[in-house]
Amino acid sequence: MQRKAGLIDVFAKPYEVWTRRRNSHQEALDLVVNHGVHPSQALDVNDKLIAVVATASEAAARMLTVRADNGLENHVEAALDSSAEYQALRRSMPLAEPPELSAYQGSFTERDWEPADAAIKVNGVKMADGQFLFHGGLWPSDSNSFITTRPLSTSFCPQVALRNAEWRGKAYESGRVDLMVVRVTNSETKAYAYSREGEHGNEKEVVFASGANLRRVRESRLADMPVSKVTSTLETLEKVVPAYLLEVELS
């Protein structure tokens, strides 16, 4: 019987964005004396609620419009820390990370794809139906669907996925940014969830084996984004490209 992960919803508790205001001396004193708040945390307070992110699509849309939000990434980290389903997913992975998957994550060269793919199929699990993950890059087909022929890296965090889309000038070369909200739908494709410890732990990565069927359900242009590339002579080239949110099903 194949192992299957539970559903991990990092926005079950919505992420809220607030403006902040400085507390008066009396307000700060009241928080410290009567409410047990540490003095360092009593200096300012949430003022106005300006955004609520309750779904994966809303999170991706926010990233494309603001480009960076460390508060959102911290929210994802805290959600994973408190998720019993995420802890169970990590326990289902081997105690020692397969060297083929370490090489794939560390160097990400073409020669690593085939051994990593084999390791995912041996050590991975099927992700839960309805699981949302993020992938940043370029939709690689003129068609609305295609079957992957190499491992597919995804993240629980849209900020990580967006940085990957920009990495090493990829978005500059592509002339656009695609931030994909990937929904797992009755998938038989195995996936490996990397540890969040170590050099690449911040990526919060889940990598799928080859053979996944990806279907583009919806595409929306949400922003124009400045991107850059460093040339072999260390010159930095810059331009503005369209940024798209893609809703994708993985089966």
Please report, in tens digits, the pLDDT of each residue of the chain (251 residues total).
457 889 999 999 999 999 878 877 777 676 778 777 787 776 777 779 999 999 999 999 999 999 999 999 999 999 999 999 999 999 999 999 999 999 998 877 788 899 999 999 999 999 999 999 999 999 988 899 999 999 999 999 999 999 999 988 888 888 999 999 999 999 999 999 999 998 888 999 999 999 999 999 999 999 999 999 888 888 899 999 999 999 999 99
Residue 133 falls inside a structural domain: yes
Burial class from Cβ neighbours inside 10 Å (0-12, 13-18, 19+) for residue 93 reads middle
pTM for the complete prediction? 0.90
Residue 2 falls inside a structural domain: no
Residue 9 falls inside a structural domain: no
Length of the chain: 251
Residue 1 falls inside a structural domain: no
Structural domain including 144 reads 21-250
Residue 201 falls inside a structural domain: yes
Residue 3 falls inside a structural domain: no
pLDDT value at residue 1: 42
Total structural domains within the chain: 1
Q: CATH number of the domain that 113 lies in?
A: 3.90.176
Specify the 3-state DSSP secondary structure of 147.
strand
Sign of the dihedral through C-alpha 149, 249, 171, 167 = negative
Residue 92 falls inside a structural domain: yes
Burial class from Cβ neighbours inside 10 Å (0-12, 13-18, 19+) for residue 95 reads exposed
pLDDT value at residue 42: 65
The secondary structure of 196-209 as a DSSP string is SSSTTGGG-EEEEP
